[in-house]
């Protein structure tokens, strides 16, 4: 039976036993020791999980805060505590629409990696806000992304029984009532160019842009149109139905 990295065995029980780096010792102490299990396979899985979480936490520098690993290990049903996993579980548990949560989660994990919830810090949240601002997202969009992730982390921290502040709680966004980049309307030339490109494409949705430009309808209103909503004689559309996304 192969030795499990960073473990010792006493009286048939495996313990996680790892020396803390000097930069982390003011917060963590000199040595981290945790009781794992008397079963080799279970102890190996737990030790590997702690390795990943510690590596993520200690990469943050000297500001990482210790968490209750023993309580975390007791939550055996949550072997996978990555951000994306809890985003999916939050959607399933709450029955909420998934579009904004999935998008916010993807943007965040693309930036910092799909790490364990326990290892995400306030610095990661601020880095996410900075990234959104660099993309010229308006403040309303940034707040919506933060709100989605805040909800996911509230759910995850409760389920994992971790006493830790939500890293997305009370994130301040400057100029909340102003667009970072003011939008403008299309010129007649730009619309004509767009219509021409749309007409010449083989895409079955080639009428989408011309209808939007001539009627001002939103995409959800156009795709929700029925045959009886179109009057060819009067050249008009009756849009009173919005297609809802599942």
Residues 65, 12, single domain; the answer is yes
Same domain membership, residue 58 and residue 17: yes
- Do 97 and 153 sit in the same domain of this protein? yes
What local confidence, expressed as pLDDT, does residue 236 receive? 76
107 and 63 share one domain: no
Task: Classify burial at 187, counting beta carbons within 10 Å of its beta carbon; exposed 0-12, middle 13-18, buried 19 or more.
Answer: exposed
pTM of the model: 0.54
223 backbone φψ class: left, alpha, beta (φ>0; ψ -120 to 50): alpha
Range of the domain at 213: 188-237
Residue 30 lies in a domain: yes
Q: 232 lies in a domain?
A: yes
Residue 246: pLDDT band by 50, 70, 90 thresholds? Answer: very low
- The alpha carbon torsion through 8, 10, 13, 15 (nearest 10 deg) reads -30
Residue 83 CB partners (closer than 8 Å, separation 6+): 105, 108, 109, 114, 115, 116, 117, 120, 152, 156
Count of domains observed in the chain: 3
**Same-domain check for residues 13 and 56:** yes
Tens of pLDDT, residue by residue over 39-69, are 887 788 788 778 877 887 787 666 677 777 7
96 and 38 within one domain: no
Regarding whether 52 and 33 lie in a shared domain, the answer is yes
Tens of pLDDT, residues 154-194:
999 888 777 788 999 999 887 655 554 566 788 889 988 98
Rounded Cα distance between 47 and 160, Å, is 17
Q: Which of 107, 142, 159 is the last residue of a domain?
A: 159
In a domain, 49, yes or no: yes
Q: What distance lies between CA 215 and its chain's CA centroid?
A: 35
Query: Considering the domain boundaries, does residue 171 fall inside one?
Result: no
The strand ranges marked E within the chain are: 7-10, 13-19, 31-37, 230-231, 236-237
Report if residue 143 sits inside a domain: yes
Residue 96 sits in the same domain as residue 56: no
- Model confidence pLDDT, tens digit, residues 70-91: 766 665 444 578 899 999 999 9
Q: Same domain for 109 and 140?
A: yes
Mean pLDDT of 4-12: 91
The answer to whether position 25 is within a domain reads: yes
Which is more confident, 203 or 183? 203
Domain final residue pick, 28, 51, 74 = 74
- 212 near 219, Cβ under 8 Å? yes
Whether 22 and 62 share a structural domain: yes
Residues 96 and 69 placed together within one structural domain of the fold: no
- Looking at per-residue pLDDT, the higher value among 110 and 199 belongs to 110
- Looking at per-residue pLDDT, the higher value among 137 and 234 belongs to 137
197 plus 223 within the same structural domain: yes
């Amino acid at each position: 039976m192969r030795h499990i990295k960073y473990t010792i065995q006493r009286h048939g029980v495996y313990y996680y036993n790892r020396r803390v780096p000097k930069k982390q010792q003011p917060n963590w102490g000199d040595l981290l020791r945790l009781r794992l299990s008397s079963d080799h396979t279970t102890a190996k899985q737990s030790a590997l999980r702690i390795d990943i979480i510690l590596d993520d936490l200690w990469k943050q520098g000297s500001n990482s805060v210790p968490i209750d690993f023993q309580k975390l290990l007791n939550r055996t049903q949550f072997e996978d505590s990555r951000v994306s996993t809890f985003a999916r579980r939050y959607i399933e548990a709450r029955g909420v629409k998934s579009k904004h949560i999935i998008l916010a989660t993807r943007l965040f994990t693309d930036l910092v990696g799909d790490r364990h919830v326990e290892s995400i810090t306030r610095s990661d949240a601020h880095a996410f806000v900075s990234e959104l601002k660099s993309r010229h997202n308006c403040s309303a969009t940034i707040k919506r992304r933060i709100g989605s992730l805040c909800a996911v982390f509230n759910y995850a921290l409760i389920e994992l029984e971790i006493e830790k502040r939500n890293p997305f709680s009370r994130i301040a966004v400057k100029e909340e009532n102003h667009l970072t980049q003011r939008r403008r309307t299309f010129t007649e030339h730009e619309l004509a160019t767009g219509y021409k490109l749309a007409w010449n494409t083989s895409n079955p949705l080639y009428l989408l842009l011309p209808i939007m430009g001539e009627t001002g309808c939103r995409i959800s209103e156009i795709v929700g149109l029925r045959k009886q909503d179109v009057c060819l004689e009067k050249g008009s559309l009756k849009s009173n139905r919005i297609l809802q996304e599942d």
